[in-house]
Amino acid sequence: MIRQAQSKDKETIVTMIGEGMLWRTEEIGDIVEKATVYIWEENEQIIGCCTYDLNSSGEDGTAEIYVYTRPDHRKRGIGSRLFEKLWLELQQHEEKPTAVMATYRVDHGQGADFFAKRGFASIWGHHLMKYTGEIGPEPTLDVRKFTESDMDMYIQSQSDAYYEVRKGIDLQPYRLADYPEKTMNAWKKWLLNDMREDIYLFEHEGVFVGSLIITGHGEVYDVFVDPVHQGKGYGKELVRFFVNRTLEKGLQPYLVTGTHNEPAIALYERTGFQTFQTTTTAKRDFA
């Protein structure tokens, strides 16, 4: 039977999803906490779930959904029934979305076929990559923390660095600096209030060449080298810095990169990272 999840179900749901998606428990818990969740229950056991969230996608009017069934209960139509439930909920919602996005694994399982049959088209994919080596040579670049006075330079450089990648998958705006004022203000606030101590800037002879953000749980993101300084080996130095600092804390370095970003994938593989999971985010209009 399908019923709406209760607070007492959260731990079971998070554990179940974690069996299939190699995400941090905290990440899954955050999704479950903020979303509307329905579960499929048999004999007092939760064997499937679906979620929808009208605010998590980052796009106005776009709902984000997840559908998951335990592997040993698949091929019984449970996923289809859960999908139909959340679709009906969205149709009747007072804030009816204009589009829906779904994320699922494509390195195993039937997620791709399941969502393709329901009209979803892939818009981008991600590799989860983990480092399996040891501490390596220290970078020769100078490193310092981010300050408020770096804001404009940081945003412009990252905008330039990501332009070709975003254009390649038609992710608009192609330049991050072209986001609406409301979005830009929220990003700047996040950088200053939440991430300031985790952002590292790299310089060569006093000139900024790149940056990255290192989290407290061993992940790096927003890795970029300014286009003016690409092709000089600086990307490898940034990654070495991240790996060494993370290993020193006793954590396993990991990252998520776009499946379309072939230069970045090649860089990470050269520095000792291996792919452990590949996911796709797909989208369809909601009618």
What is the distance between the alpha carbons of residues 211 and 54, in angstroms, rounded to a whole number? 32
Give residue 231's pLDDT.
94
Q: So what's the architecture of 2-126 in CATH?
A: 3-Layer(aba) Sandwich (3.40)
Which one has a higher pLDDT value, 167 or 247? Answer: 247
Q: Percent of the chain at pLDDT above 90?
A: 89
> What one-character-per-residue DSSP string does 197-264 give?
GGEEEEEETTEEEEEEEE-TTSEEEEEEE-GGGTTSSHHHHHHHHHHHHHHHTT---EEEEETT-HHH
Assign 213 a pLDDT band (cuts: 50, 70, 90).
very high
Give residue 192's pLDDT.
95
Question: So where are the chain's domains?
Answer: 2-126, 142-271
- Rounded average pLDDT over 4-33: 93
Assign 252 a pLDDT band (cuts: 50, 70, 90).
very high
Assign 206 a pLDDT band (cuts: 50, 70, 90).
very high
Residue 144: pLDDT over 90 = yes
What is the distance between the alpha carbons of residues 285 and 287, in angstroms, rounded to a whole number? 6
**142-271 adopts what CATH topology?**
Aminopeptidase (3.40.630)
What is the distance between the alpha carbons of residues 115 and 280, in angstroms, rounded to a whole number? 11
Residue 196: pLDDT over 90 = yes
Q: Percent of the chain at pLDDT above 70?
A: 99
Averaged pLDDT score across all residues of the chain: 94
Convert the pLDDT of each residue in 48-91 to its tens digit: 999 999 987 667 789 999 999 999 999 999 999 999 999 999 99
Give residue 57's pLDDT.
65
